[in-house]
Amino acid sequence: MPANRYLEDLQVGEKIQTAAVPITEEEILEFSRRYDPQPMHADPQVPGGLIASGWHTAAIVMRLTVDSNPLGSLPLLGLGVDGIQWPLPVRPGDTIQVEMEVLDIRPSKSQPTHGIVKIRSTARNQHGEVVYVVIPNCWVPRRPA
């Protein structure tokens, strides 16, 4: 586990790359049948071919983010998201990798122990095509005095 990284340790413009993960048909079907059971996500014989639920892609990107320990052992807690885009579908056999970029850092006005860090996470497939962009606002502890 890398050292904890507090608000003061982050820099606007810094980038973090996650590992890459392959997406299987089995996983797409399992997620979709539970949470997004539409034919395009849950029927392997659908015309045009199976595509992952956008919320599955979002969950996979969260897992890649957590596993990359960007704050060490500090929690990754999202207050909200400024936007999401799914420009291209994710299909079985695709491999997804995420790059996070710090867009903004500001101390909290209400809680002096924390700050808010705006990130842009961009997920690309094995062809380098962008399949998902999310801009979360994260609640990050300040370094204890």
Interface with its own copies (CB under 8 A):
31, 34-40, 53-56, 58-60, 62-63, 66, 75-86
- Minimal distance, residue 48 CB to its own copies, in Å: 11
CA distance 100 to 120: 6
Q: Which is nearer to its own copies, 13 or 64 (CB)?
A: 64
Q: Which is nearer to its own copies, 17 or 38 (CB)?
A: 38
Q: Which is nearer to its own copies, 54 or 107 (CB)?
A: 54
- Minimal distance, residue 80 CB to its own copies, in Å: 4
- Minimal distance, residue 68 CB to its own copies, in Å: 13
Rg (C-alpha) for the chain, rounded Å, is: 17
CA distance 87 to 133: 8
5 touches 117 (CB < 8 A): no
Pair of tokens at residue 83: 């936007």
Find, among 52, 27, 54, the residue nearest to 41 by Cα: 52
